[in-house]
Amino acid sequence: MTVEEAQELVDKWIKDTGIRYFDELTNTAILMEEVGEVARIMARKYGEQ
The predicted structure's pLDDT at residue 15:
92
The predicted structure's pLDDT at residue 47:
92
Could you list the residue range(s) of the whole structural domain that residue 34 is in? 23-49
The model's pTM: 0.57
The predicted structure's pLDDT at residue 24:
94
Q: For the chain, state the CA radius of gyration.
A: 17
Provide the number of structural domains found in the chain.
1
The predicted structure's pLDDT at residue 43:
96
Does residue 48 lie within any of the structural domains? yes
Cβ-based neighbour number of residue 22 at 10 Å: 11
Does residue 5 lie within any of the structural domains? no
The predicted structure's pLDDT at residue 11:
94
**What are the CA-CA distances from residue 39 to residues 5, 12, 30 (Å)?**
31, 33, 14
> What tens digit of pLDDT does each residue of 11-35 get?
999 999 988 888 999 999 999 999 9
CA distance 45 to 49: 9
Task: Using CA atoms of 36, 40, 46, 49 in order, give the dihedral in degrees to the nearest 10.
Answer: 140
Asked if 16 and 8 touch (Cβ cutoff 8 Å), the reply is no
Does residue 12 lie within any of the structural domains? no
